[in-house]
Amino acid sequence: MQDIQIIDKTSCYEGFFKLIRYRLKHTLFAGGWSDELLREVLERGHAAAVLPYDPEREEIVMIEQFRPGAIGHTNGAWLWEIVAGILEPGEIPSQVVYREAVEEMGCPVSDIIHINDFFVSPGSTTETTALYCGRVDASKATGIHGIASEHEDIQVHVIPFSTAMNKLQTNQINFAPAIIALQWLALHHNEVKARWKNVMC
């Protein structure tokens, strides 16, 4: 049976992120216990993200914004992403994607389909992402959006499905939720279109 023994848990920093230091041991696959480990873990809550897809126009809505973690990256610090946000206290993931769609691209999504939930980087953070695909009227997605108090500066891009797939294949998309969602849509493209055919407005 897998088990963990937490020897000590210390809060090292609390700001935009919360940094926790653990002293711990865990059971080994071969039996017995590991040596004592010292690990720092970032806690920032959990996220939800949605890939906005227009099945009538065969278009994807993506957003572009600055990310400090990408400073120095070959493709630059402005990443092509999909709509995403952090869960506020009491929120569920579906509420987040509906809210963030309006905030980040200026129009709503509907008929969301749950893709999966995944850990972002479990070697260093507790964060998980609940990932969805949502139907959108891409003709209404345009402009620059974001909440000023959060210093958001978000450019909306509406691109053909084929262009999105090309960007994915040529490593122009480096945002993990977007990569996972686009690959999922490529696998389930016909299924999604058929599912939404009967709910077209």
Interval 37-59: pLDDT, tens: 999 999 988 999 999 999 999 99
d(CA 103, CA 86): 13
Predicted local distance difference test score (pLDDT) of residue 201: 46
Predicted TM-score (pTM) of this structure? 0.92
- Summarize the confidence of residues 156-179 as an average pLDDT: 96
Predicted local distance difference test score (pLDDT) of residue 198: 66
- Summarize the confidence of residues 20-39 as an average pLDDT: 96
Annotated active-site residue in 36, 150, 152, 191: 150
Predicted local distance difference test score (pLDDT) of residue 200: 53
**pLDDT exceeds 50 at position 9:** yes
Yes or no: say if 68 and 199 are a contact pair by the CB < 8 Å rule. no
- What residues does each domain of the chain span? 4-43, 47-197
- The token duo for 36 is 């004592």
Q: In what order do the strands lie in the sheet with 18-26?
A: 4-14, 18-26, 37-43
d(CA 164, CA 54): 13
Pick one of 3.90.79.10, 3.40.50.300, 1.10.760.10, 1.10.260.40 as the CATH number of 47-197: 3.90.79.10
Q: Is 150 a catalytic residue?
A: yes
CA atoms within 13 A on the CB side of 65: 20
Predicted local distance difference test score (pLDDT) of residue 146: 86
**pLDDT exceeds 90 at position 189:** yes
Yes or no: say if 61 and 138 are a contact pair by the CB < 8 Å rule. yes
Interval 84-137: pLDDT, tens: 999 998 999 999 999 999 999 999 999 999 999 999 999 999 999 999 999 999
CB-based contacts of 144: which residues, under 8 Å, 6+ apart?
153, 154, 155, 156
CB atoms within 10 A of CB 82: 30
Interval 53-83: pLDDT, tens: 999 999 999 999 999 999 999 889 999 999 9
